[in-house]
């Protein structure tokens, strides 16, 4: 058994793809046309960290209810965790790509950590070894 995908609600597909692929270094695994349950066009967009097994479905908000939670899917708490081998290099690359960090890097018992925001405004931990 494995967790295959998690969804992040975004405003639009292409800026989200650019953020995850260019700023975070994820792979674009799939970008296929699809349809909503009532026949309207949408896309099936999946990104995944290189070597990772669990992907992220980038889901464009459909309607006011979904649009209202963009960037706040977890009510302001960190809900996504990106582990890297070289924390300092990843932090520098992401900062250079325009990623917003909301905390400075710090060392915890579980390793180095800094909180950053994705394109939608959701909070992530960037995690690395101590």
Q: 69-85 pLDDT, tens per residue?
A: 999 999 999 999 999 99
User: Would you give the DSSP letter of residue 53?
Assistant: S
**Residue of 124, 129, 128 whose CA lies nearest to 56:** 124
| The predicted structure's pLDDT at residue 35 | 85
| Contact yes or no for 115/103 (Cβ under 8 A) | yes
Helix (H) or strand (E) holding 65: helix 64-68
Q: Sign (positive/negative) of CA torsion 41, 12, 59, 23?
A: positive
Q: Which two tokens stand for residue 112?
A: 């180095």
| Contact yes or no for 15/118 (Cβ under 8 A) | no
| Contact yes or no for 18/45 (Cβ under 8 A) | no
Average pLDDT over residues 53-75: 95
| The predicted structure's pLDDT at residue 23 | 96
Contacts of 39 (CB under 8 A, 6+ apart): none
Asked if residue 92 has pLDDT above 90, the reply is: yes
d(CA 69, CA 52): 26
| The predicted structure's pLDDT at residue 7 | 97
**Residue of 128, 114, 125 whose CA lies nearest to 86:** 128
Asked if residue 104 has pLDDT above 90, the reply is: yes
Domain covering 5-128, topology: 2,3-Dihydroxybiphenyl 1,2-Dioxygenase; domain 1 (3.10.180)
């Amino acid at each position: 058994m494995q967790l295959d995908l998690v969804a992040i609600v975004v405003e639009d597909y292409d800026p989200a793809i650019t953020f995850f692929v260019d700023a975070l270094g994820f792979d674009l695994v799939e970008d296929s046309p699809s349809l909503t349950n009532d026949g309207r066009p949408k896309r099936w967009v999946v990104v995944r960290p290189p070597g990772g097994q669990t992907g992220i479905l980038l889901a464009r908000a459909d309607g006011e209810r979904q649009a209202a939670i963009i960037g706040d899917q977890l009510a302001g708490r960190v809900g996504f965790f990106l582990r890297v081998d070289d924390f300092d290099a990843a932090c520098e690359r992401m900062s250079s790509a325009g990623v917003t960090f909301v905390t400075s890097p710090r060392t915890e018992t579980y390793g180095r950590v800094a909180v950053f925001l994705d394109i939608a405004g959701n909070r992530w931990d960037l995690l690395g070894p101590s």
